[in-house]
Amino acid sequence: MTAGSERPVLLVLRALKLGDLLVSVPGLRGLRAGFPDHELVLAAPKWLEPVVPLVGGINRHLPTPGLDDPIPYAGRVDVAVNFHGKGIESRTRLEELLPEHRIGHRAPGWAGPEWDDTLHERERWVRLLSWHGLPGSADDYRLLPPEAPAPADGATLIHVGAAHGSRRWPVERFAGVARELHYRGHDVLVTGGEEDRTRAAAVAHGAGLPETAVVAGRWDLPSFFAAVAAARLVVTADTSAGHIATAYGTPSVIIFGPATPEQWGPPEDGPHVVLTDPAVRHGDPFADLPDPAMLAVWPGHVLDAVARLEERGTAHEPRHLAAP
**Cβ atoms 253, 266 nearer than 8 A:** no
Residues sharing a CB contact under 8 Å with residue 8, sequence separation 6 or more, in sequence order = 35, 37, 38, 39, 78, 79
pLDDT at 313: 76
Instruction: Identify the residue with better confidence: 49 or 312.
Output: 49
pLDDT at 6: 85
**Phi and psi torsions of 261, nearest 5°:** -65, -25
Residue 317 scores a pLDDT above 70: no
**Buried-state track 182-201, b at ≥16 Cβ within 10 A, e below 16:** beeebebbbbbbeebbebbb
Average pLDDT over residues 128-151: 97
Q: Where are the alpha helices (DSSP H) in 70-157?
A: 88-95, 121-131
Q: Please give the C-alpha separations between residue 217 and each of 28, 89, 322, in angstroms, as whole numbers.
A: 30, 33, 30
Residue 31, classed as helix, strand or coil, is helix
Q: Which CATH architecture has domain 156-311?
A: 3-Layer(aba) Sandwich (3.40)
β-strand partners of 25 = none
pLDDT at 323: 25
pLDDT at 55: 98
The three state secondary structure string of 34-77 is HCCCCEEEEEECHHHCCCHHHHCCCCEEEECCCCCCCCCCECCC
Average pLDDT, the chain: 94
Instruction: Identify the residue with better confidence: 236 or 269.
Output: 236
**Cβ atoms 21, 14 nearer than 8 A:** yes
Residue 321 pLDDT level (bands cut at 50, 70, 90): very low
pLDDT at 92: 98
| pTM of the predicted structure, to 2 decimals | 0.93
Give the angle 268-269-270 at the CA atoms, nearest 5°. Answer: 95
Domain 9-131 class?
A: alpha beta
Average pLDDT over residues 17-41: 98
pLDDT at 322: 25
Residue 314 pLDDT level (bands cut at 50, 70, 90): low
- Which residues of the chain form CATH 3.40.50.2000? 9-131, 156-311
Residue 312 scores a pLDDT above 90: no
| pLDDT tens by residue, 240-279 | 999 999 999 999 999 999 999 999 999 988 999 999 999 9
Proportion of the chain in helix, strand, coil states, percent, rounded to 5: 35, 15, 50
Average pLDDT over residues 81-110: 98
Pair type for strands 156-159 and 188-191: parallel
Closest CA to 295 of 308, 306, 282: 282
Residue 222 pLDDT level (bands cut at 50, 70, 90): very high
| pLDDT tens by residue, 181-215 | 999 999 999 999 999 999 999 999 999 999 999 99
Residue 116 scores a pLDDT above 50: yes
Distance CA 138, CA 153 (A): 29
